[in-house]
Amino acid sequence: MPDAFLELRGVKTHFPVERGIFIRRRVGTVRAVDGVSLSLRKGEILGLVGESGCGKSTLGRTILQLIPPTEGGVVLAGKHLEQLRDAELREARADFQMIFQDPYASLNPRMTVYDALAEAIQVHQQVPVAELPRRVSELMQKVGLAPRFIKKYPHEFSGGQRQRIAIARALAVEPKLIVADEPVSALDVSIQAQIINLLAKLSREMQLTLIFISHDLSVVKHISDRIAVMYLGRIVELGAATEVFEEPLHPYTKALVSAVPVPDPDREKRRQRIILQGDPPSPMNPPAGCSFHPRCPYAVDACKTSVPALEDFGSGHMAACIRVKQIGAGTPTTNR
Amino acid sequence: MSLLTVQNLRASFHTRHGVVRAVQDVSFSLEKGETIGIVGESGSGKSVTCYSLLRLIPQPPGRLEGGRALFDGVDLLSCPQNQLRAIRGKRISMIFQDPMTSLNPYLRIEEQLIEPLLIHDGLDRSEAVIRAVTALEDVGVPGAAQRIRCYPHEFSGGMRQRVMIAMALITRPELLIADEPTTALDVTVQAQILELIKKLQLELGTAVIWISHDLGVVAGFCQRVLVMYAGRIVETASTEAIFKRPKHPYNRALQKSIPALQARGAELYTIPGLPPDLSKTLPGCAFAPRCEFAEEACRSADIQLRGVEAAHDSACIRVQNGTVKL
């Protein structure tokens, strides 16, 4: 993509598995992320979905260089992040921030909102102390928190408010890219909606590029421009949010979409679920060929040997499956 | 006669910060083989309701303040402990959200599966093991005869939940209480587990109380739904009616805030404010401070669940007196 703001080039993140107490021997490798290439426009929201253990969080952390990639590179606004030295990287971090799942764990319980936000502002900017209170209240208003809470501690807030503080902290350095790792999974439905609206609004207003990691497909579909579906460390499908959701190409995406419960009794009756057999295999020992083939209802012999590449099936809707043409798009329904 | 009739159940927790009224005046009934869903957000009292039925809330700080729960003519809340013990785990069983914390990590699956059979059915060990292996096969654990010798940590999350289900259903209970059993699982595994429980329920004729915050799961699985808010049932009706014709502002607002039902990219409806603090007594309707239809009377009126349509009850006084059409 010529106007790419963020580009991932064949990113691999592998973790060694070691045994032994005194003599550590390497007994295997967990291929958490195994060759991901992607590019994002400025201001785009990409939803990253997949089940636990598929590598979506590791990919998010690798992009932000919280975990160095084993192979491949991350280019943000022309800068090769994996080649930066420590001091340069620290400086560059002002451009990219992360929001975590659990707002109870990601805030220091002994710091007031003011302390937490003022610290974040000062890390990357020289701001006179006298000006800090004003800057902090501005930030708080931006995320919908009343500035009168400025002297309160995290335990005095509800989960949703805490997530707002975490978002404010991420925004303090005026980043260009935010990776949000399951930012609404720990919240109740009515609170989820508030946070989703907030993130969508901020992305729009500040031209923020957002990578939204979640296992909840309906949330991702709602907020994202494009969706990437991961399975065992690889992207198996990528495309515009509505297309991936309504006309899925890859058999895994089909199963995933069909498994999402819809709060509509009529639709639930009409839908036919694709029930996958078994659990996802271990990323330490992934199956040969297409890693989805042991659970795939459409698998043929060729799937066991060749690793399918991500292929474009029109208008940027890509899937990594050799049988897309035979299977066709969409999910099964009974008497549509 | 109904299998279970709960009348005016009240439960509270006595804490240092005051009395938290977790469940207030909850009444409902359940027929043989029926599936009802209890939905609500965290703190709405859905779990406490079900734990109270089996007297599983720790007392103190918990306290059953009143009410009755008739199960086949026996009041579960006041019957002697030994009578309750004969029902709990035999005729009523429960599945919990997190299978790792409800399985004993020190015991092989075998020991845990046969325990209810030894206690309740008086089987001897070898018979019980045969039944346990069959039960594991029924829930789709491959290689059940070998896997039964494994410890809980050797199973994946989905497999552990299958073991829990096998354990809950091994005594062929008449009622199964499931407290968010699929919340910790991935969607594809959740679909497997839902399908499995539906199948077993059909075979055994078990009634199910399904507690969930996920309206989607409830829509596909339950015949009737109770919506709880701040310790009370605010609406109850058939699943169809709950989703198609909501009769309580809270239920309607909840559905409007779910992304799955809204157009992509549209701003989601949000319920303003926060759920109330249950340690403070609130006059009137607990949802009034967050409700777009609230008027003066809502903040003082005596709130009761009343029929507003055939088999459709709502606790909203404005729906009851017809001044609001939702």
**pLDDT confidence of residue A332:** 67
Q: Which two tokens stand for residue B324?
A: 């609001």
Higher pLDDT, B184 or B22: B22
Domain encompassing residue A278: 247-336
**Is residue A209 scored above 90 in pLDDT?**
yes
Contact (Cβ atoms closer than 8 angstroms) between residue B194 and residue B217: yes
**Residue A91 pLDDT more than 90?**
no
Give the mean model confidence (pLDDT) for residues B262-268.
74
Is the four-CA dihedral B250, B253, B259, B261 of positive or negative sign? Answer: positive
Q: Is residue B236 part of a domain?
A: no
- Count the domains in chain A: 1
Task: State the Cα–Cα distance between residues A74 and A12, nearest whole angstrom.
Answer: 11
Alpha carbon distance A264, A256 (integer Å): 18
Q: Is B269 on the interface with A (CB under 8 A)?
A: yes
Evaluate whether residue A316 is within a structural domain. yes
Domain shared by B218 and B254, yes or no: no
Residue from the list A160, A221, A275 with its beta carbon closest to the beta carbon of B191: A275
Percent of chain B with pLDDT over 90: 25
Average pLDDT over residues B167-180: 89
How would residue B92 be classed by pLDDT, with cut points 50, 70 and 90?
A: very high
Candidate from B189, B261, B267 with C-beta closest to A263: B261
Q: Does B259 touch chain A (CB under 8 A)?
A: yes
Phi, psi for B238 (deg, rounded to 5)? -65, 155
- Mean pLDDT lowest for which of A229-238, B209-218, B219-228, B252-261? B252-261
Asked, for residue A141, whether it belongs to a domain, the answer is no
What is the distance in angstroms between the Cα of A77 and the nearest Cα belonging to chain B?
A: 26
Instruction: Based on the fold, state whether residues B184 and B97 are members of the same structural domain.
Output: yes
Inter-chain contact B274–A158, Cβ cutoff 8 Å?
yes
pLDDT at A143 over 70: yes
* pLDDT on residue A336: 35
What tokens were used for A135?
Answer: 């800057």
d(CA A236, CA A309): 9
Q: How many whole angstroms separate alpha carbon B31 and alpha carbon B238?
A: 13
The predicted-structure confidence for A259-315, as pLDDT tens digits, reads as follows 888 888 887 777 788 888 777 777 778 888 898 999 898 888 989 988 898 989 888
DSSP B160-221: HHHHHHHHHHTT--SEEEEESTTTTS-HHHHHHHHHHHHHHHHHHT-EEEEEES-HHHHHHH
- Kindly state whether residues B144 and B274 are assigned to the same domain: no
* pLDDT tens for each residue of B19-60: 888 898 999 999 988 999 999 888 888 888 988 988 888 888
pLDDT band at A333 (very low <50, low <70, confident <90, very high): low
Question: Is B186–A241 a contact, with Cβ atoms under 8 angstroms apart?
Answer: no
For chain B, how long is the longest CA-to-CA vector? 67
Q: What is the mean pLDDT of chain B?
A: 87
pLDDT of residue A179: 94
**What 8-state DSSP symbol labels residue A286?**
P
B2 DSSP β-pair partners: none
Q: What is the mean pLDDT of residues A17-39?
A: 85
**CA A61 from centroid of its chain's CA atoms:** 9
**Of the candidates A264, A19, A32, the residue with the CA atom closest to the CA atom of residue B259:** A264
Beta-bridge mates of residue B228: B233
Q: Mark yes or no for CB contact B260/A263 under 8 Å.
A: yes
Which one is predicted more confidently, A14 or A126?
Answer: A14
- Helical segments of chain A, H only: 56-63, 86-92, 113-124, 132-142, 159-171, 189-206, 217-223, 241-246, 251-259, 265-270, 324-327
| B131 and B272 housed in the same domain | no
Residues B57 and B142 in one domain: yes
Contact assignment for A265 to B189 by CB distance below 8 Å: no
- State the pLDDT at residue B250: 92
Q: Angle of helix A159-171 relative to helix A189-206, nearest 10 degrees?
A: 20
CA pair distance B23, B106, nearest whole angstrom: 35
Residue B219 touches chain A, beta carbons under 8 Å: yes
Number of other residues whose CB lies within 10 A of the CB of residue A217: 23
Instruction: Indicate the residue of A160, A188, A222 with minimum beta-carbon distance to B259.
Output: A222
pLDDT of res. A235: 94
Q: Say whether both B259 and B309 belong to one domain.
A: yes
Residue A210 has pLDDT above 90, yes or no: yes
pLDDT value, residue A319: 93
What is the pLDDT averaged over residues B92-119? Answer: 87
Could you tell me the pLDDT band of residue A185, with boundaries at 50, 70 and 90?
Answer: confident
| Least confident piece of the model among A83-87, B80-84, B262-266, B274-278 | B262-266
B168 with B72, same domain? yes
Q: Report CB contact under 8 Å: B220, A261.
A: yes
CB contact, 8 Å: A202 with chain B? no
CA dist., res. B62 & res. A214, Å (int): 36
Query: Distance from CA of residue B9 to its chain's centroid?
Result: 15
Does B272 reach chain A within 8 Å, measured CB to CB?
no
Q: Is residue B22 part of a domain?
A: yes
Asked if residue B84 belongs to a domain, the reply is: yes
Gap between the Cα atoms of B236 and B314, Å rounded:
7
Q: Is the predicted pLDDT of residue A335 greater than 80, yes or no? A: no
Q: B268: which DSSP letter?
A: P
Instruction: Write out the H or E segment, with its range, that includes residue B116.
Output: helix B109-116
Number of residues in chain B: 326
Q: Which helix (H) or strand (E) holds B136?
A: helix B125-138
B273 touching A, CB under 8 A?
no
Interface probe, candidates A51, A156, A188, A242, chain B, greatest B C-beta count within 10 A: A188
Mean pLDDT of A236-248: 91
B41 in any annotated domain: yes
Distance (Å) from the alpha carbon of A193 to chain B's nearest alpha carbon: 6
Structural tokens at position B200: 């077993």
Identify whether residues B204 and B259 lie together within a single domain: no
**Mean of pLDDT values over B118-123:** 87
Pairing of strands A177-181, A209-214: parallel
User: Does residue B150 share a domain with residue B42?
Assistant: yes
Residues from chain A contacting residue B270 (CB–CB below 8 Å): 190, 193-194, 197
Q: What does each C-alpha distance from A220 to A76, A199, A253 come to in angstroms?
A: 23, 12, 13
Closest CA to A178 of A80, A102, A96: A96
Of all residues in chain B, what percent carry a pLDDT higher than 70? 99
Are A279 and B189 an interchain contact pair (Cβ–Cβ within 8 Å)? yes
- pLDDT of B156 reads 78
Tell how strand A311-312 and strand A318-319 pair up.
antiparallel
Mutate to test the interface with A, among B139, B187, B196, B267 (most CBs of A within 10 A): B187
Q: Is residue A259 part of a domain?
A: yes
Phi, psi of A183 (to 5 degrees): -70, -15
Is residue B240 assigned to a domain?
Answer: no
A12/B contact by beta carbon, under 8 A: no
Per-residue buried b or exposed e for A65-100, using 16+ beta carbons within 10 Å of the residue's own CB? bebebbebebbbbeeebbeeeeeeeeeebebbbbbb
Boundaries of domain holding B257: 249-320
* Structure tokens, B61: 């700080």
Structure tokens at A300: 């043929």
> How far apart are alpha carbons A132 and A149 in whole angstroms?
15
Residue B316: exposure state from Cβ atoms within 10 A (0-12, 13-18, ≥19): buried
In sequence order, what are the residues at sequence separation of 6 or more whose Cβ sits closer than 8 angstroms to the Cβ of residue B83? B74
Quick check: is B266 in a domain?
yes
CATH number where B169 lies: 3.40.50.300
With respect to residue B203, please indicate whether it lies within any of the assigned structural domains.
Answer: yes
Asked whether the predicted pLDDT for residue B238 surpasses 90, the reply is yes
Q: What is the pLDDT of residue A1?
A: 56
Closest residue in A to B223 (Cα–Cα): A265
The residues, ordered by sequence, that sit 6+ positions from A50 with a Cβ below 8 Å of its Cβ are A56, A215, A229, A230, A231
ipTM surpassing 0.90: no
* CA atoms of A147 and A236, how far apart (whole Å): 44
User: Kindly report the CA angle at A209 between A205 and A212, in degrees rounded to 5?
Assistant: 110
Say if residues A33 and A62 touch (Cβ distance below 8 Å): yes
Tell me the average pLDDT across B140-164: 84
Beta carbons of B159 and A279 less than 8 Å apart: yes
- Torsion B223-B243-B275-A158 (CA) sign: positive
Whether B163 contacts chain A with CB within 8 A: no
Asked if the Cβ–Cβ distance from A51 to B188 is below 8 Å, we say yes
User: Closest-CA residue in chain A for B252?
Assistant: A190
How many pairs of residues across A and B have Cβ atoms under 8 Å apart? 119
A18 interfacial to chain B (CB closer than 8 Å): no
Q: Which residue of A has its CA nearest to B250?
A: A190
- Say if A90 falls within a structural domain: no
B155, B266: one domain: no
Question: Does A55 reside within a domain?
Answer: no
Taking residue B171's Cβ as centre, other Cβ atoms within 10 Å add up to 19
The four Cα atoms B71, B75, B79, B84 give a dihedral, to 10 degrees, of 20
If asked whether residues B92 and B188 sit together in one domain, one would say yes
- Residue A157 pLDDT exceeds 80: yes
Q: Which of A51, A242, A265 sits opposite B186 (nearest CB)?
A: A51
Same domain, B214 and B65: yes
Residue A2 is predicted with a pLDDT of 58
Binning pLDDT at 50, 70 and 90, where does residue A70 land?
very high
Task: Please indicate, yes or no, if residue B239 is contained in any of the structural domains.
Answer: no
- The answer as to whether A125 is a domain residue is no
Give how many domains chain B has, as a whole number: 2
With respect to residue A325, please indicate whether it lies within any of the assigned structural domains: yes
Q: Who's near A88: CB < 8 A, 6+ residues apart?
A: none
Q: What is the mean pLDDT of residues B213-230?
A: 89
The token pair at B153 is 């940590």
Strands of the A209-214 sheet, one edge to the other = A96-99, A177-181, A209-214, A45-49, A226-231, A234-240, A318-319, A311-312
* Chain centroid to CA A82: 19
Residue A333 tokens, joined: 């329904």
Q: Are B283 and B259 in contact (CB under 8 A)?
A: no
Domain-embedded: residue A6: no
